[in-house]
Amino acid sequence: MKDVVLEAEGIDTFYGRSQILFGMSLRVCAGEVVTLMGRNGMGKTTTVRSLMGLTRASRGSIRVEGRELRGSPAFKVARHGLAVVPEGRQVFPNLTVSEHLKVAQANRSANRGEWTLARAFALFPGLADRRSAFGNQLSGGEQQMLAIARALVTNPRILILDEATEGLAPLMRDEIWRCLDTLKKSGLSILLIDKDLEALTRLADQHTIIEKGRVAWSGTSDDLRMNGEIQRRYLGI
Q: Which domains does the chain have, with CATH numbers?
A: 1-81+157-170+187-237 (3.40.50.300), 90-156 (no CATH)
Contact status, residue 151 vs residue 103, Cβ threshold 8 Å:
no
Q: In what order do the strands lie in the sheet with 18-29?
A: 18-29, 4-15, 57-64, 67-68
Residue 160 bridge partners (DSSP):
84, 191
Taking CB atoms within 8 Å and a gap of at least 24, the contacts of 227-233 are: 231/197
3-state secondary structure of 202: helix
Q: Which pLDDT band, with edges at 50, 70 and 90, does 110 fall under?
A: low
Question: According to the model, what pLDDT value does residue 120 have?
Answer: 95
> What distance in Å separates the CA atoms of residue 123 and residue 178, rounded to the nearest whole number?
10
Query: How large is the average pLDDT for residues 163-177?
Result: 93
Question: According to the model, what pLDDT value does residue 86 have?
Answer: 93
Q: Which pLDDT band, with edges at 50, 70 and 90, does 114 fall under?
A: confident
> What distance in Å separates the CA atoms of residue 228 and residue 225, rounded to the nearest whole number?
7
